[in-house]
Amino acid sequence: MAMLLKRKKTIRQAENERLVLTIQTVKQDLDRYENMIEKSIDPSDDIVAHLKLMRAKYIFLLKEARQRRINGYLDN
């Protein structure tokens, strides 16, 4: 029984680490994309829609991390 709980904890920890890495990657992409749009003269509707989609994805991931009660720091 203890072995099963340890395995479950290890899997949860690995998934939490994966979530944190995904959040960091999405945030970097979002920042890069926002910077590109900020420098653009007249962004198209498709580009603006894609930016909104990226923001929604980032917010969703942050809410998931908050629900799991994890922070943005990985324990190495």
Please give the C-alpha separations between residue 17 and each of 29, 49, 69, in angstroms, as whole numbers: 19, 29, 12
Q: Are 57 and 26 in contact (CB under 8 A)?
A: yes
**Domain spans in the chain, listed from the N-terminal domain onward:** 17-76
Q: What's the whole-model pTM score?
A: 0.81
Q: Are 14 and 68 in contact (CB under 8 A)?
A: no
Residues 6+ apart with CB under 8 A from 55: 30
Q: Are 42 and 17 in contact (CB under 8 A)?
A: no
For 4-27, the pLDDT digits (tens) are 667 777 888 999 999 999 999 999
For 34-60, the pLDDT digits (tens) are 999 999 889 899 999 999 999 999 999
Please tell me the number of Cα atoms within 13 Å of 3 on its side-chain side.
0
pLDDT at 7: 75
